[in-house]
Structure 1
Amino acid sequence: MVETVENGVAAGEHKEPGMKAEVFLPEDYRPAEDEPFMNDRQLEYFRRKLLAWKADLLDDSKTTIEGLQEGARNIPDIADRASEETDRALELRTRDRQRKLVSKIDAALRRIEEGEYGYCEETGEPISLKRLDARPIATLSLEAQERHERREKVHRDD
């Protein structure tokens, strides 16, 4: 049985104002350039992708915390202790970067809810689907990102 979905509402359902209808996505769905940009299916695809990424990061963080709590032991050899402390410091730096990434994912999820997702915050132009698929937290189009990086490089050289 094929269910018809029009404007994000399944056949026979009525959408109340302010309520979101569930969007049905096939497992192999990929956003395509020939669809209307940031339609309900594309937004749901990116929402699910962001939520899965966030869940993975949070799971990694939980594993790290458990490992750090278990790993607190007294190592008599100075070289071994230094090596373990270096490993811990590296792990904590990685987790800090992932914590910042989680906040960027949350910001992208908010942009989806507010209807601003997928558009360059500098130019207002659509961000390419390929860029969003590769970097779903992107806030700048490729051209705007390149300009931003060139300005950053110039200021760094000063």
Structure 2
Amino acid sequence: MSQSPASPKPASPAKRTASKAAAAAPAPAPVPVAGPVPHPVQPPPMPAVSDLSSPAKKKPDPKLANAWKTKPGRELSEAELLAMPEDAYMNEQQLDFFRAKLMQQKNDLLDNAGETTEHLREDTSIVPDPADRATIEEEHALELRTRDRERKLLKKISQSISRIETGEYGYCDETGEPIGLGRLLARPTATLSLEAQQRREMKQKMFGD
């Protein structure tokens, strides 16, 4: 008489609990493999803000750049003067331009000085009101101070005209370097470059006159 195969015994409660815990446990993290670490990909460099905002340089107008070849220096405009090439610095046209500019300033100052002299000749003693007389005297004092400044400027103008004749005009007294057209247009009597002037002013602040 044949025997039926034995049925598997049911797992004990302890074994069932252990198998459930093993299934619920997280899988172990993969072990990293040793090797070279790849460098992060760098994005392309962004253009500088100045490159985006600065407009492209314009070529000088050929009419301005060549005006000095056909016009006398005293008839040149400031734009035409600034458009001249660098190697034309303090050539005959530029010297003629600044000579005329200095002479015009000199004549204007002399005319103003004549008007100031006539005004100062007015007799304030005939003004009856003391307040009015004090006001007129104050105006005269102001005009005298202005006249003194103009007198000093006239002296500088005469010296600058002499420097044009001797070939020293437009060059710094301390360094011998060009003063520059822009500075001379703003101050035709300048004898120092901007850097030399700043150094001198700094020394005067530190050590006094």
TM-score (norm 1): 0.79
Q: What is the Cα deviation at residue 29 of structure 1?
A: 3.0
Question: 1:40, 1:59 → 2: CA distance?
Answer: 29
Count how many residue pairs are aligned between Structure 1 and Structure 2. 136
Distance 1:125 1:151 in 2: 20
Change (3 A) 1:68 1:137: same
- Alignment match of 2:203 (pick from 145, 151, 157): 151
* Residue 108 (structure 2) aligns with: 56
- Structure 1 or 2, whichever has the larger Rg, is 2
Q: For 1:135 and 1:82, how far apart are their aligned partners in 2?
A: 36
**Residue from 84, 91, 95 that aligns with 2:136:** 84
Which aligned runs of 4 or more in structure 1 are off by greater than 6 angstroms? none
Which protein, 1 or 2, shows the higher relative CO under an 8 Å CA cutoff with sep ≥ 6?
1
CA distance in 2, matches of 1:48, 1:29: 12
Conserved 8 A contact 2:163-2:169: yes
Runs of 5+ consecutive residues of structure 2 not aligned to the other structure:
1-68
2:146 to 83, 94, 98: 94
Out of 105, 123, 145, the residue aligned to residue 72 of structure 1 is 123
AA paired with 1:66? E
Secondary structure at the aligned position of 1:121 is classed as coil
Percent of paired sites with the same residue: 53
| 1:111 is the counterpart of 2:163 | yes
Task: Name the CA distance, whole Å, in 1 between partners of 2:73 and 2:176.
Answer: 27
Uncovered stretches (5+) of structure 1, i.e. residues with no partner = 1-7, 11-22
Deviation at 1:28, TM superposition (A): 4.1
State whether structure 2 residue 179 is matched by structure 1 residue 131. Answer: no
RMSD: 2.1
Mean CA deviation greater in 77-86 or 140-149: 77-86
The one-letter code of the counterpart of 2:180 is S
CA distance in 2, matches of 1:155, 1:111: 30
